[in-house]
Amino acid sequence: MPIEKIKNSLRDENLQNSSLTTIINEVDPFEIARRLNEFSTDDKIRIFHFLDNESKRQALLYETDIDSRLEIQDTLDRDYLANLLDEMAEDEATDLIQELPSHTQEDILSKMEAQDAEVIKDLIQYGEETAGGLMTPEFNKIKWNQPAAEIFTKIKQESGSYIHPYFYVVDDQNKLLGFFKLRDLLNAQSSAIAKEFIRPETPKIAINDPCEKVANVMGQDHLSILPVVDENNVIQGVVTFDDVIRVMEDIASEDIYTMVGTAKVDPFAKKTGSKIIARAPWLFITFVGGIISAWILGLFEGTLSEDAAIILFIPFVIGLAGNIGIQGATIIVRGLATGDIQEDNIAHIVKNEILVGVLNGAIFGIICGTLISLTAEILLSADPVLGLVVGTGIILAVSVASLVGSLTPIIFINLDIDPAISTGPVITVANDILGLAIYLVTAKFILAVF
> How confident is the model over 90-96, as a mean pLDDT?
85
> How confident is the model over 109-113, as a mean pLDDT?
89
Which CATH number does 267-449 carry? 1.10.357.20
Q: Among 45-49, 106-110, 160-164, 333-337, which is the least confidently predicted range?
A: 160-164
pLDDT tens readout for residues 411-422: 877 777 766 655
Better pLDDT: 257 or 181: 181
CATH superfamily name and code, 2-129: MgtE N-terminal domain-like (1.25.60.10)
Q: How many CB atoms are closer than 10 A to CB 425?
A: 21
Is the pLDDT score of 260 beyond 80?
no
Is the pLDDT score of 251 beyond 80?
no
Q: How far apart are alpha carbons 340 and 16 in whole angstroms? A: 57
pLDDT tens readout for residues 375-403: 988 888 888 899 999 999 999 999 999 98
pTM confidence score: 0.58
Better pLDDT: 420 or 430: 430
pLDDT on residue 269: 55
- Strand ranges of the sheet holding 225-229, from the earlier edge strand across to the other edge: 205-206, 225-229, 235-240
**Bridge-based pairing state of the strands 225-229 and 205-206:** parallel
pLDDT on residue 155: 81
Q: How far apart are alpha carbons 86 and 301 in whole angstroms? A: 70
Better pLDDT: 450 or 107: 107
Residue type, 411: I
Q: How far apart are alpha carbons 323 and 427 in whole angstroms? A: 10
pLDDT tens readout for residues 5-24: 898 888 888 888 888 889 89
User: Based on the number of CB atoms within 10 Å of its own CB, is 308 exposed (0-12), middle (13-18) or buried (19 or more)?
Assistant: exposed
Residue 341 CB partners (closer than 8 Å, separation 6+): 332, 335, 349
Better pLDDT: 145 or 160: 145
Is the pLDDT score of 337 beyond 70?
no
Q: How far apart are alpha carbons 354 and 347 in whole angstroms? A: 11
Domain ranges, ordered by start, for the chain: 2-129, 141-248, 267-449
Handedness of CA 30, 36, 41, 47 (dihedral sign): negative
Q: Long-range pairs for 256-263 at CB < 8 Å and ≥24 separation? A: 258/418, 258/420, 258/421, 258/424, 259/330, 259/420, 259/421, 259/423, 259/424, 260/424, 260/425, 261/285, 261/424, 261/425
The answer to whether 2-129 and 141-248 have equal CATH topology is: no
319 φ/ψ angles, rounded to the nearest 5 degrees: -65, -45
Q: How far apart are alpha carbons 410 and 58 in whole angstroms? A: 41
> How confident is the model over 116-132, as a mean pLDDT?
82
Is the pLDDT score of 291 beyond 80?
yes
pLDDT on residue 267: 53
Q: Taking all residues of the chain, what is their mean pLDDT, rounded to a whole number? A: 84
Better pLDDT: 442 or 411: 442
**CATH class for the region spanning 141-248:** alpha beta
pLDDT tens readout for residues 311-323: 888 988 888 888 8
Q: Among 38-42, 48-52, 262-266, which is the least confidently predicted range?
A: 262-266
